[in-house]
Structure 1
Amino acid sequence: MLRGATNVVIDDKGRWAMPKRYRTALIEQCQGHFVCTIDHQFCCLLLYPIDEWERIEAKLVRLSSLHLAERRLQRLLLGHASECELDAQGRILIPPTLRQYAQLANKIMVVGQLNKFEIWSTPLWQQQIEHDIDLQAEDAPECSPRLSELSL
């Protein structure tokens, strides 16, 4: 499971080192192969181990190209999808168009989300977390049935 948030440096070429705590498991799971695409709801990127991405593709292929919202989702996710792999130093290269979309520069946040990573610019991550905390406090009285089952 991919979890936790790690502050990572991204170089001028768009390379960043996968946190060591994930490397061995990800090399075993996906041989260091990933797909990176945009998040269609937030200004961040999604990095999937290749086996997880193939599950997403299987769902996307079932969407109708005649339904505008479904076609738009296919266009956004598949059109921006880029294959990436760990190099010998454990780094991943993020293509320039994806870095531009997510406003990645200098320091980024790599956030585990169980089956994928979110990749955020550090300032946007901090803004999003503050926003999420505010919304969570507002939503608490009307939480969904699934959230009410989650006892922390």
Structure 2
Amino acid sequence: MFRGVNTLSLDSKGRMAIPTRYRDQLARSCNGQMVLTVNALDSDHCLLLYPQPEWEEIERKIMKLSSFNKQTRKLQRMLVGHATECEMDGNGRILLPPPLREFSGLNKEVVLIGQGNKFEIWDDGMWNTRRGEWLKDEGTGDDKLPPDLESLSL
């Protein structure tokens, strides 16, 4: 289970060090083998980083969907088409390929957000902007909670 917000720096080669607190879990669960892809589910241009076994399960489900549906084809093209295998090196770093860094507007400072079975990787400035927007939108009544979240007590 990955959780938490981590501010990190990319090195000159586009590598990001995975925080130490996640490394053992990633070594056990996937031997440091991960898959990086784009977030195609909404307009936020962040990257998604999955342990390889988690990704393979999602990929199987996506590819079983009918490609006759326009939205399904788009999802398949974006998520699977951009999926890139990456391996954690001996120093706990992964390389973020240039096309994916460009897609998500990543510069030197990035934010790694734990999301349970995966991570999101954001440009630091974009993360702060979007987080501010989400906090401002809270309580406006524009978005209703799904029924399964209405009983959740925080």
When normalised by structure 2's length, the TM-score is 0.94
How do 1:76-115 and structure 2 match up within 5 A? Answer: 76-115=78-117
What is the CA deviation profile of residues 16-36 of structure 1, one whole-angstrom value per residue up to 9, with x for unaligned ones?
A: 100000000110001001000
**How far did 1:62 drift?**
1.1
Q: Which residue of 1 aligns with 2:3?
A: 3
* Counterpart check, 1:36 vs 2:36: yes
* Counterpart check, 1:148 vs 2:142: no
Bigger mean CA offset, 60-69 vs 109-118: 60-69
Tell me, in whole angstroms, the C-alpha distance in 2 between the residues paired with 1:72 and 1:62: 14
Unpaired stretches in structure 1, ≥5 consecutive residues: none
Amino acid at match of 1:100: E
Q: Which residue of 2 aligns with 1:13?
A: 13
Tell me, in whole angstroms, the C-alpha distance in 1 between the residues paired with 2:143 and 2:101: 38
Tell me, in whole angstroms, the C-alpha distance in 1 between the residues paired with 2:62 and 2:76: 6
Aligned pairs, how many? 152
Tell me, in whole angstroms, the C-alpha distance in 2 between the residues paired with 1:34 and 1:116: 10
Q: Which residue of 2 aligns with 1:49?
A: 51
Tell me, in whole angstroms, the C-alpha distance in 1 between the residues paired with 2:13 and 2:48: 19
Amino acid at match of 2:115: Q
When normalised by structure 1's length, the TM-score is 0.95
Higher helix share: 1
What is the CA deviation profile of residues 52-111 of structure 1, one whole-angstrom value per residue up to 9, with x for unaligned ones?
A: 101111111111111111011100001110000100110000100000011111110000
Which of structure 1's runs of 4+ aligned residues deviate more than 4 A?
none
Check 1:97–1:138 CA distance in 2 against 1; reply closer, same or farther (3 A cut): same
Tell me, in whole angstroms, the C-alpha distance in 2 between the residues paired with 1:106 and 1:20: 20
